[in-house]
Amino acid sequence: MPLSLARSRQLQQRAESLLPGGVDSPVRAFRSVGGDPPFIARAEGAYLYDEDGNRYLDMFGSWGPMILGHAFPPVVEAIREAAGHSSSFGASTAAEADLAALVQQCFPSLEKLRFVNSGTEACMTAIRLARGFTGRSFVVKFEGCYHGHSDAMLVKAGSGVATLGIPGSAGVPAETAMHTIALPFNNLEAVRAAFDARPKEIACIIVEPVVGNAGTIAPLPGYLKGLRDIAHRHGALLILDEVMTGFRLSLGGAQQRYEITPDLTTLGKIIGGGLPCAAFGGRHDIMNFLAPLGPVYQAGTLSGNPLAMAAGIATLEHLIANEQTIYPQLEKTTAQIASGVAAIAREAGVTLTTNQVGSMFTWFFTGSEVTDFASAATSDTQAFGRFHRAMLEAGVWLPPSQYEAAFVSTKHGPEEVALILEAASAAFRRNISQRP
Ligand SMILES: *Cc1c(COP(=O)(O)O)cnc(C)c1O
């Protein structure tokens, strides 16, 4: 049944007259899946409610942060209480070290850390720090990995730009991007060759340990340790970008799951419980290179914001206290959804490749195994678009791009699994295999 989106459509038109594309982040505009994006009025638990009164099962969780579901009462209460004491001071608070201690409890490799406001800032600064610490200029990244929208990282940057079908971004001078080396993911030989070609010139490797921004792609066995070994052999640093995977794939992120200790880590999304907050951290000798102790500069008017700290503390305290139940349950629910829909697709004769790691997953509309960006890009994005629309009309909101991971929260239970399986059956019966 077509959705009634009259009010959302009006709001979109008004937004388009004021905001480019009507949005503050490009993929929200639904350009690649077509149709009108519903405008959200509120959300609770696993469900979003739009301005027309439609309800959707939320499968993108604000792009990762909402692991405990929407309006989780302890988080709401913590924000309320902090707001009553003023929303910003620009001076130190106890809450910053409180959250830092919780982060460190989950991520022991973060001997020291600094809070910033977005994953973009965290990655940009971690790279600056790696360059300052090593005195080198080149950075190795991987095709399809997204590390925020800083100039040097907008090279083969995954989801957002891949969805728009553009290689990078206008406005980035070649001189700025010339020190960024983009290599295929899951290919250690390419990394060895890059280091051999530029001995003592590469400052760091930055990687999404499980790629989420080309859709979900797991590292092959030994890949992450291989990256660390190559980096260290050449005097370079390994940065794990755990903005998406941190506190999601396990309490200690991908580094706990795959037992790998990086030199630096970037965190975001879940760390702020849905408020703008991110962090980077790692070895104390590297972190002490940051101002005010060292020569690498970084600053932020709203960094360590008290509302963000409060929401982060409430979120991490809940995850830490319930680690043993939350993570196995998330993984089980995600498997029921990911494999359940895959089975329904198989019956309906629709070709899908399903990738799942923990509570992240992607259905790629391709018959190829997906292990890197090139194989992800074999997906039929038109078919994905039709599937997305059919699911939305059945009340399930998937991430609006083939190249984005879907997320499961602790509020997704048997009822939600049943809803999504039913929606997928209807979608596959309807319009996925043929064009509308
Ligand atoms: C989301 C994301 C970023 C950027 O974070 P923002 O808060 O959107 O700036 C960086 N790296 C990864 C892996 C991400 O998923």
Name the domain count of the chain.
Answer: 2
Confidence (pLDDT) at 433:
53
How far apart are the C-alpha atoms of 83 and 89, rounded to whole Å?
A: 11
**What is the three-state SS of 70-83?**
ECCHHHHHHHHHHH
77 and 173 assigned to the same domain: yes
166 and 229 assigned to the same domain: yes
With the most atoms of ligand 1 within 8 angstroms of its CB, the residue from 28, 159, 213, 360 to mutate is 213
Confidence (pLDDT) at 432:
56
The string of pLDDT tens digits covering residues 322-356 is 999 999 999 999 999 999 999 999 999 999 999 99
Q: Judge whether 1 lies within some domain.
A: no
Whether the per-residue pLDDT at 318 is higher than 50: the answer is yes
DSSP per-residue string spanning 167-224: SS-TT--HHHHTTEEEE-TT-HHHHHHHHHHSTTTEEEEEE-SSB-BTB-BPPPTTHH
Q: Judge whether 269 lies within some domain.
A: yes
Per the structure block, which two tokens stand in for 203?
């400052």
The string of pLDDT tens digits covering residues 201-252 is 999 999 999 999 999 999 999 999 999 999 999 999 999 999 999 999 999 9
Ligand 1 close to Cβ of residue 263 (< 6 A): no
Report, as residue numbers or ranges, the catalytic residues: 146, 241, 269
Which domain range does residue 85 map to? 73-321
Ligand 1 close to Cβ of residue 241 (< 6 A): yes
The string of pLDDT tens digits covering residues 154-201 is 877 766 666 555 557 888 888 888 999 999 999 999 999 999 999 999
Q: What is the pTM of this model?
A: 0.96
How far apart are the C-alpha atoms of 153 and 316, rounded to whole Å?
A: 29
Best CA proximity match to 284, nearest among 434, 102, 114: 114
Binned at pLDDT 50, 70 and 90, residue 427 comes out as very high
Q: Judge whether 68 lies within some domain.
A: no
Give the length of the chain: 436
Ligand 1 close to Cβ of residue 217 (< 6 A): no
291 and 333 assigned to the same domain: no
Give me the chain's average pLDDT, please: 95
Best CA proximity match to 124, nearest among 88, 173, 175, 176: 176
Asked if residues 67 and 36 have their Cβ atoms less than 8 Å apart, the reply is no
Per the structure block, which two tokens stand in for 104?
């460190």
State mean pLDDT over 281-285: 98
Residue where one domain finishes, among candidates 287, 321, 355 = 321
State mean pLDDT over 279-286: 98
Whether the per-residue pLDDT at 109 is higher than 70: the answer is yes
* CATH number for the domain harbouring residue 56: 3.90.1150.10
404 and 427 assigned to the same domain: yes
Confidence (pLDDT) at 168:
73
Confidence (pLDDT) at 435:
46
Measured between alpha carbons, how far apart are the two ends of the chain, in Å?
A: 14
Best CA proximity match to 337, nearest among 368, 319, 360: 360
Whether the per-residue pLDDT at 358 is higher than 90: the answer is yes
State mean pLDDT over 66-85: 98
Beginning with the edge strand found earlier in the chain, give each strand of the sheet holding 360-364 in spatial order.
353-357, 360-364, 406-407
Ligand 1 close to Cβ of residue 120 (< 6 A): yes
With the most atoms of ligand 1 within 8 angstroms of its CB, the residue from 207, 242, 243 to mutate is 243
Q: Quote the DSSP letter at residue 27.
A: G
